[in-house]
């Protein structure tokens, strides 16, 4: 475990965010990918059962997040699972329904409240330290697990109202000014995907939906394609393939070293966002931060009524054409940067 001197507020927050980002991807990707594919198999018993398994797995997302947040702080296995349990409770993913007389689980709960509860649980564990001694196996789950859990339950209604309001506000703006807001959202996520901030966590936290989620996913896709197009002749094939499969954050050092890397990314995001508004390309909070990874963005838009032809055009043809145009315009014509200098992976 790291000693307390290392845990400044910034470090503490970054550890919580890092654990949350990984936990969201682990928890959501199976259902996000499988649900869109398996629906084509109709009532096939195996497909239906696998779909149900993926949904149940997704319900465990807050538990996964809590455990991975605890892991960031170097907690022991028991403390990790206590943090995971508290996060699961505080997320609201499972609630008691008095009418049914049963506990009912659905979705992923409130991600922001999950983060808050996990942070509280870790804080309590670090504060208590070894004070429980030999009874820690009994006391820690009760004091930390239920203690942080009940605080999370108390906070949940207020945090949920706030996150829902933010999401509704963005979705409303997209309805009023679809092209402008689609561009702004796409550009924001095009930047976030190569920043330390998780696009998946943001999309889930503020519950982006509809065209807003489609624009967010398109922004992620735009940056992915720009990085692939520009990395192809600059880096080893393994780097380019890793980026194409979802490791866009590998390029974070490039962003801090050469911020001009954002220019072609934002250019491609702007062009790619226009079809989002024109064809009402929609998504879900779960698909908003994935983009092309696992084909989550395209499959979500297909699931929301976009034809297969438009899926191919909007998600591949337009962004690739925009990325190639941006490469030619900024590097060859305007000579604003050298591809080798900006896109070479230094890791």
DSSP notation for 52-75? HHHHHHHHTHHHHHHHHHHHHTT-
Question: Are the C-beta atoms of 273 and 280 separated by less than 8 Å?
Answer: no
Tell me the CA distances in angstroms from 116 to 81, 89, 206, 313, one per residue in order: 16, 12, 15, 41
pLDDT of residue 80: 97
For the chain, 347 residues long, the average pLDDT of each consecutive 10-residue run is 64 84 79 77 91 92 94 95 97 90 86 92 94 93 96 93 76 80 93 80 80 94 95 88 82 86 96 96 88 88 92 96 96 92 83
Q: What are phi and psi of 283, to 5 degrees?
A: -150, -165
Please, what is the Cα angle at 176 between 163 and 182, to 5 degrees? Answer: 70
pLDDT of residue 60: 94
**Residue listed under structure tokens 């004070």:** 131
Q: At what angle do helices 318-327 and 210-231 cross, to 10 degrees?
A: 50
pLDDT of residue 289: 85
pTM of the entire predicted model: 0.71
Q: Which of 153, 152, 122, 126 is nearest to 15 (CA)?
A: 122
Q: Which structure tokens are listed for 78?
A: 């028991």
CA-to-CA distance for 91 and 61, rounded, in angstroms? Answer: 9
pLDDT of residue 196: 65
CA-to-CA distance for 10 and 331, rounded, in angstroms? Answer: 37
Residues of the chain by 3-state class (helix, strand, coil), percent to 5 = 75, 5, 20
pLDDT of residue 20: 82
Q: Which of 168, 171, 194 is nearest to 181 (CA)?
A: 171
Question: Are the C-beta atoms of 264 and 195 separated by less than 8 Å?
Answer: no
Q: Which of 152, 158, 193, 165 is nearest to 288 (CA)?
A: 193
Domains in the chain: boundaries: 4-164, 177-343
pLDDT of residue 4: 47
In eight-state DSSP terms, residue 241 is: H
pLDDT of residue 69: 94
Among left, alpha and beta (phi > 0; psi -120 to 50; other), residue 122 is: alpha
Please, what is the Cα angle at 67 between 64 and 73, to 5 degrees? Answer: 145
Question: Are the C-beta atoms of 57 and 81 separated by less than 8 Å?
Answer: no
pLDDT of residue 290: 86
pLDDT of residue 347: 58
CA-to-CA distance for 292 and 218, rounded, in angstroms? Answer: 8
């Amino acid at each position: 475990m790291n000693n307390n001197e290392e845990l400044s507020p910034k470090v503490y927050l970054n550890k919580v965010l890092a654990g949350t980002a990984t936990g969201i991807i682990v928890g959501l990707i199976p259902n996000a990918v499988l649900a869109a594919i398996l629906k084509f198999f109709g009532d096939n018993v195996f497909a239906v059962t696998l779909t149900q398994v993926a949904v149940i797995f997704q319900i465990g997302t807050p538990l996964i997040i809590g455990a991975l947040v605890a892991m960031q702080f170097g907690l022991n296995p028991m403390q990790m699972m206590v943090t995971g349990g508290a996060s699961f409770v505080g997320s609201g993913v499972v609630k008691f329904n008095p009418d049914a007389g049963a506990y009912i689980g659905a979705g992923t709960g409130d991600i922001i409240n999950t983060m808050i509860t996990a942070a509280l649980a870790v804080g309590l564990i670090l504060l208590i330290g070894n004070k429980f001694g030999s009874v820690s196996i009994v006391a820690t789950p009760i004091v930390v697990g239920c203690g942080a859990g009940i605080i999370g339950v108390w906070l949940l209604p207020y945090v949920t109202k706030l996150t829902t309001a933010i999401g509704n506000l963005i979705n409303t703006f997209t309805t009023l000014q679809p092209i402008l807001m689609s561009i702004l959202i796409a550009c924001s996520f095009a930047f976030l995907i190569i920043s330390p901030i998780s696009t998946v966590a943001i999309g889930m936290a503020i519950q982006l939906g509809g065209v807003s989620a489609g624009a967010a996913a398109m922004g992620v896709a735009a940056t992915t394609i720009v990085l692939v197009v520009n990395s192809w002749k600059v880096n080893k094939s393994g780097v380019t393939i890793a980026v194409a499969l979802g490791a866009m954050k590998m390029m974070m050092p490039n962003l801090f070293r050469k911020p001009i890397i954002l220019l072609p990314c934002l250019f491609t995001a702007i062009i790619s966002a226009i079809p989002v508004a024109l064809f009402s390309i929609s998504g879900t909070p779960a698909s908003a931060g994935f983009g092309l990874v696992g084909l989550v963005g395209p499959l979500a838009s297909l699931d929301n009524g976009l034809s297969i032809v438009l899926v191919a055009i909007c998600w591949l043809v337009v962004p690739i054409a925009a990325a190639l145009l941006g490469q030619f315009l900024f590097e060859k014509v305007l000579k604003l940067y050298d591809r080798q200098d900006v896109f070479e992976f230094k890791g």
